[in-house]
């Protein structure tokens, strides 16, 4: 299965930095998944593959608002399970609603993480800065920095704070971990 990941990384010439980032996200995501009671029924393989491939779209664009759509496009084209495709498609920050997508000029669609696998990978991604694991408050600080740099995304960062906090609370409750 991991060979499949490596093959795709190579095929799309994904940069070393992004590969390292994805490996760290996979490590954090699996730590969360492994801390959740098995009767919850998390598909750990989907978490692993989804985390390793969530940023494959970065091979073709570095645009933060487009790369997750590209990731999903590539994975769909390559015949990946819809479960994996959606992990990539819904990993941006703490998600984007249909309305947000419209406002951003993106294909109008719901990009909110819904399944636990989707939430775990998107949340783990928010905790990883480059290839280092940080704390939840570091993610919140980054949102503040975005607002300081440019006030035009305030409408979105405000929603993101609430959405991220909700996912954090849900995953802390399920896993017993503290982020």
Residue number, 42 or 124, with CB nearest to Fe ion: 124
Show the binding pattern over residues 59-98: x = contacts Fe ion (CB under 5 A), - = does not.
----------------------------------------
Residue 55 touches Fe ion, criterion: CB under 5 A: yes
Please give the distance of CA 66 from its chain centroid, rounded to a whole number.
13
- Number of residues this chain uses to bind Fe ion (CB under 5 A): 1
Packing angle between helix 116-127 and helix 136-149, nearest 10 degrees? 70
Strand partners, 96: 111
Please report how close the Cβ of residue 152 comes to Fe ion at its closest, in angstroms. 21
- Closest to Fe ion by CB, 37 vs 139, is 139
Residue 166 CA: distances (Å) to CA of 17, 137, 160, 162: 30, 14, 10, 6
Where does this chain touch Fe ion (CB under 5 A) — which range of 48-56, 115-123, 138-146, 157-165? Answer: 48-56
Q: How many Cβ atoms sit within 10 Å of the Cβ of residue 81?
A: 15
Interacting residue ranges for Fe ion, rule: CB under 5 A: 55
């Amino acid at each position: 299965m991991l060979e499949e990941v490596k093959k795709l990384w190579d095929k799309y010439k994904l940069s070393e930095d992004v590969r390292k980032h994805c490996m760290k996200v996979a490590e954090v995501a699996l730590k969360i998944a492994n801390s959740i009671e098995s009767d919850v029924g998390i598909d750990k393989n989907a978490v692993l593959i989804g985390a390793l491939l969530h940023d494959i779209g970065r091979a073709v664009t570095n645009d933060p608002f487009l790369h997750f759509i590209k990731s999903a496009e590539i994975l769909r084209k390559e015949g990946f399970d819809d479960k994996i495709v959606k992990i990539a498609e819904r990993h941006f920050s703490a998600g984007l609603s249909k309305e947000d997508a419209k406002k951003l000029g993106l294909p109008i669609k719901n990009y909110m993480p819904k399944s636990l696998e989707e939430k775990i990978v998107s949340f783990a991604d928010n905790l990883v800065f480059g290839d280092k694991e940080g704390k939840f408050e570091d993610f919140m600080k980054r949102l503040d920095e975005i607002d300081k740099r440019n006030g035009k995304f305030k409408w979105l960062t405000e929603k993101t704070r609430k959405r991220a906090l909700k996912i954090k609370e849900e995953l802390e409750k399920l896993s017993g971990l503290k982020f």
